[in-house]
Each structure stands twice: as structure tokens, then as C-alpha cells.
């Protein structure tokens, strides 16, 4: 399975094949070397919201909302915490990109410093810094749709009934037994993907 590309420019096909080779080669190797594939997956960086200085994209029960600091404080006042679940790469650094609301006592997955150092090194040496980040593995494969001003994430459930041409792969999981990635998450093409994280 390949990352989708435009059928108008032949050079794009060569680039996609190269990206697939990078994902299935050195990026996969880093995930397996650190056993990160058990809790994390590769994420194609994109945003559906323009995020202000005092705002964050926060998922609540599978629905992502743009929230300001006061909204997050209100949520935490009910015995919750807001934790990073998706990290972006930019300028050789890993930065939290999206968050989730979980009960305050929940222990969350976080990438180890050794994994992050190796991951960033592979991205930088292959020209992929700012293209890929890291996401936490969800229990099920998922699809994300924009409904109003919220992004709604639903389990994919291996159904082929949806219009596959309307979704693009954005999350890629690895398995020790399989040499190539599998698509773990998809995103609606009708989303505004132009507000790339900075």
C-alpha cells in the first residue's frame, strides 16, 4: 500500500515510492528497535484548525475541539488532565500537537528520549523533518471526519462501505512480522489540510 499521490505529475510517483521506502525502512527500524510500535504510530502531520497562542486541539471521547486555556482549566476541574497524544516534528524538535482529556490518575504513553533522538535523526537524514510526527496507537483503526467545527474520530471496523476515494492515510502502524506499514488512521480529503503546524 502506498501513500496516495496525484496522478498528474510523474515525479510525484517517484517521490511517493521513495517515502514509502523510508517509512518501511529506517523509520520502521527505529520503531521496532525501541518497541515503540506497541504504543505509537507514524503520523502524517496535518491540522484541521488554525491554532492560536492560547489554544490547543483537544480530543474529548473521540471528538477534537479547538480549546482555549480556560476551557482546559474547566475540564481539569472535574478531575481530568489534558495530555499530549500526537507530536509533530519541526526544526529538529518534537513538539506536542494534539491533546486528549483523560482521568487525572491515568498513566499515558509518552515516547522515550532515546526513541525520539533516533526518530528525529532518521527524519532529518531523510528529509522528512516537518512531514511526519508520532501519534498514540488507538485501540481500533480509525477514520476522522470534519463535522461542523469539530473533528470526529470513529473506529473504521474493517468496513469497505465508505467511499475510499474521500479519505487519505495519515497514521501508519508497524508490526515485527510484516515488512510494510499498515494504515492505522484515515482522514477525510474534504478537510482543510492547509493549516500545517508551524
pTM of the model: 0.83
Distance of CA 84 to the CA centre of its chain: 12
Q: What is the pLDDT of residue 2?
A: 41
pLDDT band per the 50, 70, 90 thresholds, residue 12: very low
pLDDT of residue 15: 52
For 87-106, the pLDDT digits (tens) are 999 999 999 999 999 999 99
- What is the average pLDDT score of the chain? 84
Cα separations in angstroms, 197 against 73, 103, 150? 24, 27, 17
Alpha helices in the chain (DSSP H): 10-22, 28-33, 69-76, 113-125
pLDDT at 197: 40
From residue 79, alpha-carbon distances to 56, 66, 82, 144 in Å are: 19, 20, 10, 27
* Cα angle 184-93-67, degrees, rounded to a multiple of 5: 65
Q: Burial letters for 14-49: b for 16+ Cβ neighbours within 10 Å, e otherwise? A: eeeeebbebbbebbbebbeebebbeebbbbbbbbbb
What is the band of 17 on the pLDDT scale with cuts at 50, 70, 90? low
Q: Rounded to the nearest 5°, which phi and psi values hold at 35?
A: 55, 25
Q: How far is CA 188 from the centre of its chain?
A: 14
Would you say the C-alpha torsion 44, 50, 142, 111 has a positive or negative sign? positive
Chain mean position to CA 11: 26
List, for residues 36-62, the tens digit of each pLDDT value.
999 999 999 987 778 888 999 999 988
Summarised one tens digit per residue, pLDDT across range 129-172 is 999 999 999 888 888 888 887 888 888 876 666 777 778 889 99
Taking CA atoms, 28 is separated from 8, 25, 111, in Å, by 29, 6, 15
Strands 178-188 and 142-147: parallel
Instruction: Give pLDDT tens digits for 172-187.
Output: 999 988 989 988 888 8
| CA gap 189, 145 in Å, rounded | 9
Q: Give the position of cell 471521547.
A: 61
Q: What is the pLDDT of residue 28?
A: 97
Cβ proximity of 98 and 89 under 8 Å: no
Amino acid at each position: 500500500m502506498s501513500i496516495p499521490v496525484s496522478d498528474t505529475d510523474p515525479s510525484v510517483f517517484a517521490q511517493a515510492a521513495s517515502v514509502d521506502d523510508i517509512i518501511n525502512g529506517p523509520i520502521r527500524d527505529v520503531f521496532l528497535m525501541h518497541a515503540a510500535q506497541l504504543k505509537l504510530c507514524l503520523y502524517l502531520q496535518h491540522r484541521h484548525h488554525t491554532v492560536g497562542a492560547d489554544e490547543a486541539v483537544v480530543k474529548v471521547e473521540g471528538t477534537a475541539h479547538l480549546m482555549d486555556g480556560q476551557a482546559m482549566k474547566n475540564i481539569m476541574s472535574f478531575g481530568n488532565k489534558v495530555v499530549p497524544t500526537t507530536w509533530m516534528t519541526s526544526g529538529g524538535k518534537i513538539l506536542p500537537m494534539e491533546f486528549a482529556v483523560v482521568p487525572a490518575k491515568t498513566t499515558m504513553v509518552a515516547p522515550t528520549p532515546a526513541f525520539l533522538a533516533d526518530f528525529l535523526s532518521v527524519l532529518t537524514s531523510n528529509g522528512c523533518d516537518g512531514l511526519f510526527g508520532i501519534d498514540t496507537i488507538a485501540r481500533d483503526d480509525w477514520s476522522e471526519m470534519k463535522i461542523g467545527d469539530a473533528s470526529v474520530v470513529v473506529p473504521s471496523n474493517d468496513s469497505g462501505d465508505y467511499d475510499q476515494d474521500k479519505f487519505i492515510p495519515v497514521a501508519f502502524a508497524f508490526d515485527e512480522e510484516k515488512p510494510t506499514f499498515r494504515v492505522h488512521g484515515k482522514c477525510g480529503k474534504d478537510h482543510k489540510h492547509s493549516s500545517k503546524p508551524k
